[in-house]
């Protein structure tokens, strides 16, 4: 790898479709012109959007797909229509080696099901996981996984999530040895489920992994900036992620109500606008857009359905970064390391 | 019941101890002077605080206890020292019928373990749950449970939590027929764990319960104000609760940073201060203080360790309200209803 990343884009996915997906591609290309795109979807609609960005002319191939996966499609229905849809063809391009990564803003469940079925799970990984970046008060974002690819996870899954999350944070956050914690309802060793305790016991011993395992973290400490990777089962992870989104919106809604509650507060708001814009920027989900399916034989990035140009550009940049840094190889190396140490320990 | 609530107060619990617990009692008493308090703890320290509130003179009994449960005590250690500690004696007063409810700001795990061992679980309830109120954008707060009394919960537990939470919301929020939802990672019937699906199936059928069961709710919709009771297993509930606390603090920290980042923004902040004070008031955990152990043969309220006078007064008011409205009887009636309908169904 190391060459120009070729990104397969499901141009039809998301709330807006081609307009925002192609605008996002143009924005990402403006920053790094070594990108190449393959745009999947309705050719006519794609061409009319594509024509707006002359700079993209030579950077794109267009592949017509007659069908689209909707938000209402069940994963099982989506799978049956993989061959005719923009989403299915974007994933198939990764599988065929024609693209290095796929980006879609479409139905998450369908994307996950299609990606799993087509790309298959990496050797050494039992279940793929969904990972995303969350803002913190510290210098770096944090990586959290699993965010809902699995409803239940055992200790073995959690250890694999830790390995994949650590590799991912090394790539996207540029951290040599990420600090990894397990999400739990207390920090004492006795707290939590048997799965968590067993996973912690394995990670505590595994000094040969490229991470620093730091024990447990509670839900109220996620944003403190003292952890780089938070590992959790998919159920709790999804609850935590959505609760973060909901609470951030709740507080900013209250703030908006407060600032519009009187003429005086409106004036104060206008004066301090640059400050609140900063806050808005920090909390804007577009700046953290791009959730990643880890553990498959191929890279797939889920862009938020409501992401704007900037958000899509971010998701594309995440995909390109994983390609350039060869994330898949890094995960395989770590898994080989675990296997080698297990074999060594067994031989003793 | 209906008579003057007698509240047993662990005067030593919490970060501050007698000063804040007794100030909180005085504040609660100012609003409703039919309260009677039994203050447990170091007699000398209690007397010196108690002397500051002449209005409390005839409203309190003081019971000296030589020992205190600390934040570091394990539940097992705490149980062994129940008889000499302020926390243990406050619970014992409820058991003996000398008090109608106990309030403590001490070690949650110890309080739960002691309360369970001393008061025992109600007939018809397999496991007690911890419930609290959360702010919403709607007119009412919502009740969420379990928040960590149990690490794992099966379908039967979840149904019992729903019954207890609905009864509690009728009492504290004054709602005739609360809207109840199960916390899940999606709203479709197929989503989530087997336990959740089984609990939903039971609740959907149980029209004889005093609640409207509305299916599933996701973590990002908790504050929308369209649900009164959110039921969850103790692990996810604790994660969600702490994530809400942490995210609210994260956003307000960002806001503080933004407002102090320049002279201009500081001026804007000062002008709009009444508005941000409103926000602060809405998010102040003291306004929602008082988590309740439901499902025991006796009422126990956990006040937050860092609660101020107002917070403690709130916890006491929650306790007094449960006594006046006879929460325990309401839960028993609902459980009897379930049992009767099951017997009827079985006889058919």
pLDDT, tens digit, 9 for 90 and up, residues A61-103? 999 999 999 988 989 999 999 999 999 999 999 999 999 999 9
What integer is the mean pLDDT of B224-241? Answer: 95
Residues in chain B: 348
DSSP string, A159-177: HHHHHHHHHHHHHHS--SS
CA–CA min distance A239, chain B (Å) = 5
Compute the distance between CA of residue B26 and CA of residue B286 in angstroms, rounded to an integer. Answer: 16
Sign of the torsion angle spanned by Cα atoms A96, A101, A103, A108: positive
User: Do A1-125+295-325 and A126-288 fold alike per CATH?
Assistant: yes
Classify burial at B281, counting beta carbons within 10 Å of its beta carbon; exposed 0-12, middle 13-18, buried 19 or more: exposed
Nearest CB neighbour to B279, from listed A148, A258, A274:
A258
pLDDT tens digits, one per residue of B120-177: 999 989 999 999 999 888 888 999 999 988 888 999 999 999 999 999 999 998 899 9
Q: What is the CATH number of domain A126-288?
A: 3.40.718.10
Q: Which of residues 202-261 of B touch A (CB under 8 A)?
A: 218-223, 232, 234-236, 238-255, 258-259, 261
Compute the distance between CA of residue A252 and CA of residue A284 in angstroms, rounded to an integer. Answer: 11
Q: N- to C-terminal Cα distance for chain A?
A: 38
Q: What are phi and psi of A14, to 5 degrees?
A: 90, 170
Residue A102's pLDDT is what? Answer: 98
User: Which residues are CB-contacts of A182 (< 8 A; sequence separation ≥ 6)?
Assistant: A158, A162, A192, A196, A199, A200, A203, A215, A216, A217, A230, A231, A232
The fold of the B1-125+295-325 domain, in CATH, is Isopropylmalate Dehydrogenase (3.40.718)
Residue A103's beta-bridge partner residues?
A: A9, A301
Q: Which of residues 157-186 of A touch B (CB under 8 A)?
A: 183, 185
- Range name among A55-59, A257-261, B124-128 with the lowest pLDDT average: A257-261
CA–CA min distance A135, chain B (Å) = 10
pLDDT tens digits, one per residue of B269-300: 777 777 777 777 777 778 888 899 999 999 99
CB contact A151 to B (< 8 Å): yes
- Greater model confidence, A175 or B344: A175
Compute the distance between CA of residue A41 and CA of residue A181 in angstroms, rounded to an integer. Answer: 40
User: Cβ contact (<8 Å) for A271 and B252?
Assistant: no
Contacts of A276 in chain B (CB under 8 A): 255, 258
How many contacts does A have with B, using Cβ atoms within 8 A? Answer: 193
The fold of the B126-289 domain, in CATH, is Isopropylmalate Dehydrogenase (3.40.718)
Nearest CB neighbour to B272, from listed A219, A246, A264:
A264
Residue A302's beta-bridge partner residues?
A: A104, A291
User: Considering only alpha carbons, which residue of chain B is nearest residue A183?
Assistant: B239
Nearest CB neighbour to B239, from listed A185, A254, A276:
A185
Residue A99's pLDDT is what? Answer: 97
Residue B235's pLDDT is what? Answer: 95
Q: Grade residue B178 by pLDDT with cuts at 50, 70 and 90.
A: very high
Buried-exposed string A315-331: b where 16+ CB fall within 10 A, e elsewhere: bbbbbbbbbbbebbebb
Compute the distance between CA of residue B193 and CA of residue A123 in angstroms, rounded to an integer. Answer: 27
Compute the distance between CA of residue B20 and CA of residue A345 in angstroms, rounded to an integer. Answer: 56
Q: What is the ipTM of this complex?
A: 0.87
User: Cβ contact (<8 Å) for B223 and A247?
Assistant: yes
Q: N- to C-terminal Cα distance for chain B?
A: 38
Coil vs helix vs strand at A289: coil
CA–CA min distance B75, chain A (Å) = 12
Q: Is the pLDDT of residue B82 over 60?
A: yes
Residue B1's pLDDT is what? Answer: 45
CA neighbor of A122 nearest in space, from A300, A298, A1: A298
Residues in chain A: 348
Compute the distance between CA of residue A25 and CA of residue A310 in angstroms, rounded to an integer. Answer: 9
% of chain B exceeding 90 in pLDDT = 66
User: Cβ contact (<8 Å) for B223 and A239?
Assistant: no
pLDDT tens digits, one per residue of B30-57: 999 999 999 999 999 999 999 999 999 8
User: Cβ contact (<8 Å) for B262 and A274?
Assistant: yes
Q: Which of residues 260-299 of A touch B (CB under 8 A)?
A: 261-262, 264-276, 278-279, 282-283
User: Cβ contact (<8 Å) for B137 and A272?
Assistant: no
Domain spans in chain B, listed from the N-terminal domain onward: 1-125+295-325, 126-289
User: Cβ contact (<8 Å) for B268 and A247?
Assistant: no
User: Considering only alpha carbons, which residue of chain B is nearest residue A240?
Assistant: B240
Residue A40's CB is within 10 A of a number of other CB atoms, namely 31
Residue A1's pLDDT is what? Answer: 45
Q: What are phi and psi of A162, to 5 degrees?
A: -60, -45
User: Which residues are CB-contacts of A80 (< 8 A; sequence separation ≥ 6)?
Assistant: none
User: Cβ contact (<8 Å) for A250 and B137?
Assistant: yes
CA quadruple A21, A24, A28, A30: dihedral, nearest 10: 120
- Helix locations, chain A, DSSP H: 18-31, 43-50, 75-80, 86-95, 108-119, 155-172, 194-205, 234-259, 263-271, 273-283, 309-324, 327-347
Compute the distance between CA of residue A209 and CA of residue A180 in angstroms, rounded to an integer. Answer: 11
């Amino acid at each position: 790898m190391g060459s120009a990343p070729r990104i397969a884009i499901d141009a039809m996915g998301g709330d807006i479709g081609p307009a925002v997906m192609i605008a996002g591609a143009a924005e990402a290309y403006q920053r790094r012109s070594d990108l190449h795109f393959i745009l999947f979807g309705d050719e006519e609609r794609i061409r009319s959007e594509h024509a707006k960005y002359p700079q993209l002319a030579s950077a794109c191939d267009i592949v017509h797909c007659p069908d689209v996966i909707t938000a209402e499609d069940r994963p099982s229905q989506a799978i049956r229509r993989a061959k005719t849809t923009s989403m299915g063809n974007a994933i198939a391009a990764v599988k065929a080696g024609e693209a290095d990564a796929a980006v879609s803003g479409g139905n998450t469940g369908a994307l996950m099901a299609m990606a799993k079925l087509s790309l298959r799970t990496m050797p050494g990984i039992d279940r793929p996981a969904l990972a995303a970046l969350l803002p913190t008060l510290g210098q770096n974002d944090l990586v959290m996984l699993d965010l809902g690819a699995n409803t239940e996870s055992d200790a073995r899954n959690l250890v694999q999530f830790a390995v994949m999350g650590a590799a991912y944070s090394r790539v996207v956050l540029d951290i040599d040895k990420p600090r990894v914690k397990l999400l739990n309802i207390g920090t004492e060793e006795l707290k939590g489920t048997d799965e968590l305790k067993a996973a912690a016991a394995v990670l505590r011993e595994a000094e040969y992994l490229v991470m620093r395992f730091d024990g447990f973290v509670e839900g109220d400490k996620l944003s403190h900036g003292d952890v780089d990777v938070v590992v959790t089962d998919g159920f709790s992870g999804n609850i935590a992620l959505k609760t973060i989104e909901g609470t951030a919106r709740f507080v900013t809604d209250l703030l908006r109500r407060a600032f519009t509650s009187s003429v005086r507060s409106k004036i104060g708001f206008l004066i301090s606008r640059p400050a609140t814009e900063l806050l808005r920027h920090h909390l804007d989900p577009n700046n953290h857009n791009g959730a990643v399916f880890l553990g498959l034989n191929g890279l797939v990035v889920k862009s938020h359905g409501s992401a704007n140009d900037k958000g899509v550009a971010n998701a594309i940049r995440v995909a390109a970064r994983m390609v350039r840094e060869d994330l898949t190889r890094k995960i395989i190396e770590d898994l080989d390391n675990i296997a080698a140490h297990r074999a060594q320990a067994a031989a003793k």
